[in-house]
Chains A and B, each alone.
Chain A
Amino acid sequence: AQSVTQLGSHVSVSEGALVLLRCNYSSSVPPYLFWYVQYPNQGLQLLLKYTSAATLVKGINGFEAEFKKSETSFHLTKPSAHMSDAAEYFCAVSVKGAQKLVFGQGTRLTINP
């Protein structure tokens, strides 16, 4: 079975600072990994995904994530935070053929002016 742990339920950064949201996964087979973003009172929107191609994945809005098999991690980063990045972020894992996602608990990102 797969599982995801997001370290930190709440992260606060200053505008222009580096954003780092941590995600560790557990999977007995090669995983597919996803980051979703949820803005207030909206559904989830895909930011980026790793499906066994390049380990550094670029997504929308300047976000990227790196798959590190040795560390079982898929951390999300953005070099310079913008006020519009304030949202809740979810890491999720699936495996080939499963078509089901297992989500982490979510990390709420706050941007300070």
Chain B
Amino acid sequence: NAGVTQTPKFQVLKTGQSMTLQCAQDMNHNSMYWYRQDPGMGLRLIYYSASEGTTDKGEVPNGYNVSRLNKREFSLRLESAAPSQTSVYFCASIGGWYSYEQYFGPGTRLTVT
């Protein structure tokens, strides 16, 4: 049971380049989340998916798109990276409807120059 996995672990992009962050969970969870973590700001929700086939915006969605490919996978895409998107990105998933405990991946450290 790997839990929540994320790829890549590290990435450096130039301004304007695009990339996709991958996330997968093997716990049969319905809901999945993408957060960004910046110093002094805690974790902020970018997008989430309550179930396969649905996605919703979180607190800071601008500049990002997501795809819930299937129940296991939830990807985050940066179409045209900007230095303001330099951050650590975490994927998380949640179990049952009343579970509330989110399980986090190890994170992707992204630098945009």
**A interface residues (Cβ-Cβ under 8 A, vs B):** 9, 32, 34, 36, 41-46, 49, 51, 90, 94, 96, 99-101, 103-106
Contacts and interface: CB of A to CB of B under 8 A. Distances in A.
Nearest to A90: B42
B48 A100 contact: yes
Contacts of B40: 9, 105-106
A106 B100 contact: no
A34 B92 CA distance: 15
Interface stretch (B66-74, B77-85, B101-109): B101-109
Interface string B9-47: 000000000000000000000010100000011111100
Interface of B: 4, 31, 33, 40-45, 48, 50, 58, 90, 92, 94, 97-98, 100-102, 104-107
Nearest to A4: B42
Q: At the interface, is chain A mostly helix, strand, loop or mixed?
A: loop
B42 A103 contact: yes
A99 B31 contact: yes
Given A100-B48, A104-B42, A42 B106 contact: yes
A49 to B, nearest CB: 6
Query: Among the interface residues B44, B100, B101, which one has the most CB atoms of the partner chain A within 10 A?
Result: B100
B107 A43 contact: yes
Contacts of A90: 42-43
B100 A105 contact: no
Contact of A105 (B4, B42, B97, B101): B42
Nearest to A91: B42
B50 A99 contact: yes
Nearest to A32: B100
Contact of A49 (B42, B43, B92, B101): B101
Contacts of A42: 106-107
B90 A43 contact: yes
Given A34-B100, A43-B106, 4 more contacts: A51-B100, A99-B100, A101-B43, A105-B40
Given A43-B4, A43-B107, A49-B101, A99 B94 contact: yes
